[in-house]
Amino acid sequence: MTMITPSLAAGRRIQVPCYLFAGSHDPVVPSAQSLVLAGRIPRAKLVVFRNTGHMPFFEQPEAFFTALADALDELAAVTRFSKPLLATGRR
């Protein structure tokens, strides 16, 4: 199993809200690795799709696009009137 390490080092530098989507049975990026990455990004939220591999948008499209729409709605609400967040990466 290959672990993705360059991304982990950069995680703490990401200061904007973000979502990570992962499949519980992903052979490319194991969900455990996604959990580690999410833990290193200060404002990350991890959504794990059960019984799904590397392509949740293809394997569970309804669940994926519902989660994506929810994430976009939340991110829009957080950033819409948040000039300091966009300018400095902090609230």
> What is the residue extent of each domain of the chain?
6-88
Kindly report the backbone phi and psi dihedral angles of residue 28, in degrees, each rounded to the nearest multiple of 5, phi listed first. -90, -50
66 touches 72 (CB < 8 A): no
- Position 80 confidence tier, pLDDT thresholds 50, 70, 90: low
Confidence of residue 30 (pLDDT cuts 50, 70, 90): very high
- Predicted TM-score (pTM) of this structure: 0.73
Q: Give CA separation, 32 vs 20, 28, 46, 53, 70, in Å.
A: 12, 11, 11, 13, 23
pLDDT of residue 6: 53
* pLDDT confidence of residue 49: 97
Which CATH superfamily groups domain 6-88?
A: Alpha/Beta hydrolase fold, catalytic domain (3.40.50.1820)
